Amino acid sequence: MPSFQLPLFPLHTVLFPGGVLPLRIFEVRYLDLINRCEKEGAPFGVVCLLRGSEVRRAPAAGEGAEPAVEEFHTVGTFAHITAIERPQSGLMLIRCRGGRRFSLLRSERMKHGLWTGEVEYLPDDPAVPVPDDLVHVRVGLQRLLQHMQTQARPEDELPIQAPYQWDDCGWVANRWCELLPVSPQLKQQFLAVDNPLVRLELVDDLLTRLQIGTPPEA
C-alpha cells in the first residue's frame, strides 16, 4: 500500500473512526494547518501523545531554549473538519469526524513546530454483526444515548452522532471507547486492535471490571 505525507495534530486524546472531536485552535502552527485543510478540503492526522504537551510554551527559568520533546503513538486517525467557527481573531472552534486509521511510518517536526508524517492506511473494520452474547453491550450504549438525549443538550453536541450502526461490532466498540473513563493510553490500545469483534469483547470486559451500569430507559 503506498504511503503519503500527512500533517499531524498530537493530542492527549484518541480519535476513533466515526467519532466526533471538538477542538479549540489558537496556536499559530495549528491555525495555519486548519486554514490550509479547510481551503484544500483535506484531513489531518490525530495521534495520541506518549510524551510532551499539546500546547507549546516558552521555556521556564533554567530550561534550555529547545521545546519539550513530543512523542506519540504510531497508529492514528484521519480527522475531517465538519464545522468551523472564528469567534475572534486568532481563535478557531472546529468539529471533526474521525475517518480511517493510519500507521505512522516516520515523522518530522518542521521549523515552525508543526509535525508531518509519512503514513499508510490501515484496513477499515470489516462489517461484523454484534453476536448474541454481546447484545447487552449494544443495548447499554443505546440506553446511554437515550439518557443523553433527555438532558436537553443540542443534538449536534452529543458525543454519539448519526449515522448509527447499532449492529456493527466496530462502531459500537468505538463509541464505548470514546465514552469510557479510562486513560488515553488504554484507549490507544483499543484503537490499535484490528479485529472489531475482539475490540468489542475487550470493551465488554472493561465494562465489567469498571462495574459501569447504564441509565434506565428514558
Domain boundaries, the chain: 4-121, 132-210
Q: What is the pLDDT of residue 218?
A: 42
CATH of 132-210, one of 3.20.20.140, 3.40.50.970, 1.10.4060.10, 1.20.1080.10: 1.10.4060.10
Instruction: In whole angstroms, give the CA distance from residue 58 to residue 35.
Output: 24
Q: What is the pLDDT of residue 131?
A: 98
Give the chain's length: 218
The predicted model scores a pTM of 0.89
Q: Which residue has the cell 510554551?
A: 57
CB 152 within 8 A of CB 176: no
Grid coordinates standing for 84? Answer: 468551523
Instruction: In whole angstroms, give the CA distance from residue 69 to residue 161.
Output: 35
Question: Which H or E run contains 148?
Answer: helix 135-149
Decide if domain 4-121 falls under CATH 2.30.130.40: yes
Question: Which H or E run contains 7?
Answer: strand 4-11
Grid coordinates standing for 3? Answer: 504511503
Same fold, 4-121 and 132-210: no
If we measure between CA atoms, which residue out of 81, 79, 56 comes closest to residue 68? 56
Q: Give backbone dihedrals phi and psi of 171, rounded to 5 degrees, phi first.
A: -65, -45
The whole-number mean pLDDT for each consecutive block of 10 residues of the chain, a chain of 218 residues, reads: 91 97 94 95 96 68 60 97 95 96 95 92 96 97 93 85 96 97 96 98 96 58
117 strand-pairing partners:
6, 107
